[in-house]
Amino acid sequence: MAENFWETKSLSQMNEPEWESLCDGCAQCCLCKVEDADTGTVHYTDVHCRHLNAATGRCGDYDRRTTLVPDCVKLTPENLHELSWMPATCAYRLLYENKPLAAWHPLISGDPNSVHAAGISVRGRCVSEAFVHETDIIERIVHWRDKKS
Ligand code: SF4
Ligand code: SF4
């Protein structure tokens, strides 16, 4: 990976290792979401996809994720403009919006645990959808993630 590539390359210029390393492992995008039918507002819950390893913040079957979960979105430089529901802290969203990465981002800190230490990741505060009935998910909307920046 090129040094400080996130500052010198556009999203579409990045190679695959660079692109993949932008993911900080927060796993916020792997939380189940509820959309308000009237307003279109997307609310996050504290229920995570059954394929998430909540301890590491990484997908348990990354290569097959879009096959296993049809609405799991594979991020590309071309579809970021459609993903306004992504967390404000997400590195892909930040760079798409021409904003800098946060100090806790592992590419800046050099420490993959800094996303957890900064309280950005979902680790320790979510439960797998395997243990929650589908009709109960709407009761589990959370707001802790709205305050993070
Ligand atoms: S929200 Fe962004 S940075 Fe966080 S896990 Fe998802 S893709 Fe990675
Ligand atoms: S399949 Fe993997 S990447 Fe997709 S939402 Fe589930 S845990 Fe996240």
Which residue of 14, 18, 23, 53 sits with most ligand 1 atoms within 8 Å of its CB, as the best mutation to test the pocket? 23
User: Is residue 147 predicted with pLDDT exceeding 90?
Assistant: no
Q: Which pLDDT band, with edges at 50, 70 and 90, does 148 fall under?
A: low
Structure tokens at 4: 């400080």
Q: Are 31 and 44 in contact (CB under 8 A)?
A: yes
* Closest atom, ligand 1, to C-alpha of 91: 3
Share of the chain above pLDDT 90, in %: 86
Average pLDDT of the residues in 2-10:
94
Q: Judge whether residue 143 has pLDDT over 90.
A: no
Q: What is the per-residue pLDDT for 149? A: 42
Q: Which residues of 70-95 are buried (b: 16+ CB within 10 A; e: fewer)?
A: eebeebeeeebeeeeebbebbbbbbb
Question: Which residue did the predictor score with more confidence, 70 or 145?
Answer: 70
Structural domain span for residue 21: 5-147
What is the 122 CA–ligand 2 centroid distance (Å)? 13
Please tell me the distance between residue 59's alpha carbon and the centre of ligand 2 in angstroms.
5
* CA 46 to chain CA centroid, nearest Å: 13
Pocket test for ligand 1, best of 22, 29, 74, 76 (most atoms within 8 A of CB): 29
Q: Count CB-CB contacts under 10 A for residue 63.
A: 8
The pTM for the full model equals: 0.92
Contacts of residue 22, Cβ cutoff 8 Å, sequence gap at least 6: 6, 14, 91, 92, 95, 107
Number of domains making up the chain: 1
- Give the tens place of pLDDT for each residue, 66-108: 999 999 999 999 999 998 889 999 999 999 999 999 999 999 9
Higher pLDDT among residues 143 and 101, named by residue: 101
55 contacts: CB under 8 Å, gap ≥ 6: 123
Residue 145 — very low, low, confident or very high, per pLDDT cuts 50/70/90? low
**Cβ–ligand 1 contact at 59 (below 6 Å):** no
Distance, first Cα to last Cα, the chain: 26
Find the mean pLDDT for residues 101-125: 95
> What does the pLDDT read at residue 1?
84
Q: pLDDT of 23-36, one tens digit each? A: 999 999 999 999 99
Mean pLDDT of 29-48: 93
